[in-house]
Structure 1
Amino acid sequence: MAEENAFLVEGPRVGIRPCAYEDAEEFTAGARQSKDLHHPWLFPPTDIRAFTAYAARLIEEADKAGFLVCTRDDGVIAGYISVNNIVEGAFRCAALGYGAFSHAVGRGLMTEGLGLVVGHAFTTMGLHRLEINVQPGNAPSIALARRLGFRKEGFSPDFLFINGAWRDHERWALTSEMPGATAAGTLSGGPASG
């Protein structure tokens, strides 16, 4: 865990903190170890150079934010969540991307972590709507969206270029007024203290 980055918000088992350049070694090791889990849905950076470019976009571009989901007891990175295409003004919307590392799968850590990010996005970031675009065959990602109260809004053929081809995606969304938004925000018990 990058020492200078304290948790923004904590839940019972995980905290979220901003992605930092210093996370390169741990993040890329987790991505390499999780390659079979991610394929064919995700392709997170597996080397330092690719991570540096990835982190730069999340850190330096105003329409993006990147968070790491870390276990509270030891600070180990369990997964990552990006808030992309942030639009302010009347829209106040963003798209979420996320992935777990293999050591964290099946433990509920990403459900808790994504709930913390949703709560943070609706409060601190001032967003009104969050979207998740997921390939129809990615059952674990769809299940995570459902657990957090996202509703399926539609289907977009040839939506994103992934792994060498245009892929169909289901569109899931949550607004700050929906019951799931409240439940996601209460997973944390509130902002981290201290």
Structure 2
Amino acid sequence: MTEAPRERMVVGVPGRAWPNELISGTDPVVRLRPIARSDARAWRTARRRNAVWLGPWDATAPPGSDARPTSFRALVKRLRKAARRGTTYPFVVEVDGVFAGQVSVNNIVRGSAQFASVGYWIDQQFAGRGVIPRAVAMVIDHCFFLGGLHRIEICIRPENSNSLRVVEKLGIREVGYAPYFLHIDGEWRDHRIFAVTREEAPRGVLVRLDRQIT
């Protein structure tokens, strides 16, 4: 597997996709690590504080679904089990050591596809500081260069201007439009589909972001 330059990022365990942690060499310091049961208090506090901020973009259970609200402990157990199966990488985002949100690699498909989707959320107090663009870039590069994935997809509601700015900053192209794609905030919502492949970012996505900044 070809290792590409990933300026301004340190990988905790070289050569291992998961579990692992990623640390930026920037100010503020962005650290990505596996979600843990010890995050319960910080996670609940952030979600309560940001209920209005995050509510319009949160996934919900459609009518007739057997999905039920679960405890944070059950959530972590489910995510760690999926991570062991290799179908997800559930990262927590820290900013200068403070819990700030999540970036999750979901629906990992191997075989001839080598594909995954990425989702994220950020505490409003850290918004506008370049944290999520950097965290998403770090995760995509990790998926490409250590996870062996070929294509990463990000699905965004057309109304979510903050999230649309993330893919714009990272130079990720729009590839389609999916009507009634996901059940979000109580309704089936349309989404714009963005994707990037290894061929489009041979040196990684983080390099693109750093070139804009420097």
User: Does the alignment reach a TM-score above 0.5?
Assistant: yes
C-alpha contact (below 8 Å) 1:118/1:181 kept by paired residues: no
C-alpha contact (below 8 Å) 2:59/2:182 kept by paired residues: no
Helix, strand or coil for the counterpart of 2:56? coil
The amino acid across from 1:19 in the alignment is I
Does residue 150 in structure 1 map to residue 172 in structure 2? yes
Match of 1:76 among 82, 98, 109: 98
The amino acid across from 2:88 in the alignment is K
Please report how far the alpha carbon of residue 91 of structure 1 lies from its aligned counterpart in structure 2 after TM superposition.
0.5
Does residue 18 in structure 1 map to residue 34 in structure 2? yes
Match of 1:36 among 47, 52, 55: 52
Aligned equivalents of 1:187 and 1:51: distance in 2?
33
Rg larger in 1 or in 2?
2
Q: TM-score, normalised by structure 1?
A: 0.83
Residue 68 and residue 155 in structure 1: after superposition, are their counterparts in 2 closer, same or farther (change >3 A)? Answer: same
Match of 2:76 in 1: 55
Residue 86 and residue 120 in structure 1: after superposition, are their counterparts in 2 closer, same or farther (change >3 A)? Answer: same
Match of 1:9 in 2: 22
Match of 2:189 in 1: 167
Aligned equivalents of 1:58 and 1:181: distance in 2?
30
Point out where structure 2 has 5 or more consecutive residues left out of the alignment: 1-18, 61-68
Aligned equivalents of 2:133 and 2:202: distance in 1?
12
Q: Aligned Cα RMSD in Å?
A: 2.3
Match of 1:191 in 2: none
Point out where structure 1 has 5 or more consecutive residues left out of the alignment: 1-5, 189-194
Aligned equivalents of 2:99 and 2:203: distance in 1?
24
Residue 79 and residue 180 in structure 1: after superposition, are their counterparts in 2 closer, same or farther (change >3 A)? Answer: farther
Aligned equivalents of 1:185 and 1:124: distance in 2?
16
Helix, strand or coil for the counterpart of 1:30? helix
Aligned equivalents of 1:180 and 1:117: distance in 2?
15
Match of 1:3 in 2: none
Instruction: List per-residue Cα deviations over 1:156-182 (Å, max 9, x = no partner).
Output: 001011222111111010111213862
Count of residue pairs brought into register by the alignment: 178
C-alpha contact (below 8 Å) 1:150/1:180 kept by paired residues: no
Q: TM-score, normalised by structure 2?
A: 0.76
C-alpha contact (below 8 Å) 2:100/2:126 kept by paired residues: yes
Q: State the 4+ residue runs in structure 1 displaced beyond 6 angstroms.
A: none
Q: Percent identity?
A: 35
Does residue 67 in structure 1 map to residue 77 in structure 2? no
